[in-house]
Amino acid sequence: MRLSLASVAVTAWVLGRPAVAKFGVTTKGNSFSVDTDGGLVFDVSKSNGDITSLLYNGVQYQGTSKMTAINSGLGSAQVTAETVNGFVKITVAAKSQPLTQYFVVRPNDPTIYLGTYITGEISPGELRWLARLRRSAVPNGWHGTAAVLDGCTAFEGKDTFKCPNGETRCKMYTSDRFIDDQVHGVTGKNVAIWMIMPGVAYETSSGGPFMRDINSQSGGDQELYWYMNSGHVRTEPWRFGLMGPYAMRFTTGAKPSPDLDTSFFESLSIKGYVPSSKRGAVSGTATGVAQGFETVLHWYNKDAQYWTSAGAGGQYTSPQMKPGTYTMKMYRNEFPVAQDSVVVTAGGKTTKNIASTEPTPSVIWRIGNFDGQPFELKNGDKIERMHPSDVRMGSWGGSYTVGKSSPKDFPMALFAKQSGVATVTFNLAANQASAATVLRIGTTLSFKGGRPSVKVNNWQGSDPGAPKLIDSRGVTRGAYRGYGEVYTWKIPAGTLRAGTNALTIGVHGSGDATWLSANYIVDAVELQGPSGADSPK
């Protein structure tokens, strides 16, 4: 049932007094004004679909420099408002972009439910929801001071800043992995504004469960983001269709649940929306990942992506998925250990067990873990939230002695023209020195073709060749994950010796004589070969 705007807006006098505003949408000049009857009243421009006012409990939160919108605004658009089955629905059809934006509101709920439908790539090459808010009203960004720009000066591109105390700031430092990022927000006195992204919100995005992107920035405005498709460390093509549903919710401070009920979208004629009745699921057991590591399951094809983590005993159930044939991957944390395929049907429940197929050679020693993450290595605990040059960082490069050093002594990244190489000193028993051995180095992200150079005693390992290029700054903007390359070298007979040996690891590649020279992020390093009584692991 469709109701007229007048039937849901209280604009007349009742019993000689002004009527109290109730749930509905009215026309106000060049805007549609929506009262949620839950404390939130917001205005949407009729000419371009920008949100131009955000009043919550009588306080204005909309910034003044730019409005709240997709990207930095859609330009001209056809904007319509209606009520459908008791919900307010505003449709913004962009005139110069292949995009339709939806705003949906339900009674007594201070939440703007959102859906973004695209049929092609969006200029300028990424797709994001960006709320520009009065910083004086919501001064606290996501992840503390990671993107607070006060008094800081851009020193790398236009987005990475150095502060007078030597600390660094970047809006990329507010990012979290998509698998973890279901709710993030900005806060102030007795208020918080949250982005809520239930699992289904990411299904038409790109990048997989470990993709990360900007969540907030505290400059002139307080900026609150949700990235749907990004050019930052991009590893796969964009997907098209409905991004969402997702939501922007106002509270008096409490963080909302990530369990966002958007089933009512089924009755609203939203392009690309697929109800649960037309979806299927996969469940089963995932085995072979050692205790202490997360087991992640990931399904993807050209149209959709999904993920979940296995529980006790490796049991898992996928999110509700669109019908189709999917590649299915299993990860130890973020390191792939198995791959299969699965077919999902509407209304179907598919059983699919998966087990690690990773080889398990004998290892003489290993530094770090092959888990797709550098966090246990030197500076790995800081790299997501600061630049490598930040004063809070430890030194780069360094020396590691097998049996004496800890992973925190080995650098999580190496740069061609900055901070030197990493050296590893290790002892071998006679049987190990004479046996066939393999050096294995895992990396998680490369920049400008950076890849390991290796020298063992007097032997120089071959150049493995540049990996697939990702045309985006990575480690300097807090990113650590790309395609994830693993390199191996067979060490020739006569190279190693009983007793002390030395490995030097550097970088093939060049580039600027700064932190933007060729570089790569280390996952783990190991020497494969037979065990020996006098060779500490």
Residues 345 and 415 in one domain: no
Give the integer Cα–Cα distance in Å for 241 and 219.
33
pLDDT in tens, 338-349: 999 999 999 999
Give the integer Cα–Cα distance in Å for 431 and 382.
40
Instruction: Give the domain CATH number at 286.
Output: 2.60.40.1120
| DSSP annotation string for 102-121 | EEEE-TT--EEEEEEEESSP
pLDDT in tens, 211-242: 999 999 999 999 999 999 988 999 999 999 99
Burial of residue 193, with CB atoms counted within 10 A of its CB: 0-12 exposed, 13-18 middle, 19 or more buried? buried
In a domain, 185, yes or no: yes
In a domain, 8, yes or no: yes
Residues 348 and 445 in one domain: no
**Mean pLDDT for the stretch of residues 271-292:** 97
Beta bridge partners of 194: 185, 249
Which residues lie closer than 8 Å to 524 by C-beta, 6 or more apart? 366, 367, 368, 369, 370, 371, 441, 442
Residues 507 and 408 in one domain: yes
pLDDT in tens, 381-420: 999 999 999 999 999 999 999 999 999 999 999 999 999 9
Whether residue 124 is preceded by a cis peptide bond, meaning omega within 30 degrees of 0, is yes
In a domain, 113, yes or no: yes
Residues 283 and 232 in one domain: no
pLDDT for residue 517 is more than 60: yes
In a domain, 111, yes or no: yes
Closest CA to 448 of 383, 513, 511: 511
Q: Can you give the residue range of the structural domain that contains 315?
A: 277-355
Residues 307 and 210 in one domain: no
Check residue 260 and give its pLDDT. Answer: 94
Residues 7 and 92 in one domain: yes
Closest CA to 458 of 495, 490, 433: 495
Residues 339 and 383 in one domain: no
Residues 408 and 463 in one domain: yes
Cα dihedral 376, 377, 379, 383 sign? negative
Residues 174 and 62 in one domain: yes
Give the integer Cα–Cα distance in Å for 386 and 144.
12
In a domain, 375, yes or no: yes
For residue 431, what is the enclosing H or E element?
helix 430-433
In a domain, 484, yes or no: yes
Q: Of the residues 330, 355, 380, which one is the last residue of a structural domain? A: 355
pLDDT for residue 535 is more than 90: no
Closest CA to 248 of 485, 75, 480, 34: 34
In a domain, 533, yes or no: no
Residues 306 and 367 in one domain: no
pLDDT in tens, 116-158: 999 999 887 789 999 999 999 999 999 999 999 999 999 999 9
Give the integer Cα–Cα distance in Å for 535 and 530.
10
Residue 186's SS3 state is strand
**Mean pLDDT for the stretch of residues 433-456:** 97
Instruction: Give the domain CATH number at 75.
Output: 2.70.98.10
Residues 498 and 442 in one domain: yes
Q: Of the residues 267, 295, 318, which one is the last residue of a structural domain? A: 267
Q: How many domains does the chain fold into? A: 3
Q: Of the residues 338, 355, 372, which one is the last residue of a structural domain? A: 355
Residue 1 to residues 87, 262, 264, 273, 485, Cα–Cα distance (Å): 10, 19, 14, 19, 56
Share of the chain above pLDDT 70, in %: 95
Residues 101 and 171 in one domain: yes
pLDDT for residue 6 is more than 60: no
pLDDT for residue 3 is more than 70: no
In a domain, 534, yes or no: no
Token pair in block for residue 33: 């004004």
User: Which pLDDT band holds residue 81 (cuts at 50, 70, 90)?
Assistant: very high
Check residue 21 and give its pLDDT. Answer: 63
Q: Quick count: other Cβ atoms within 10 Å of Cβ 494?
A: 11
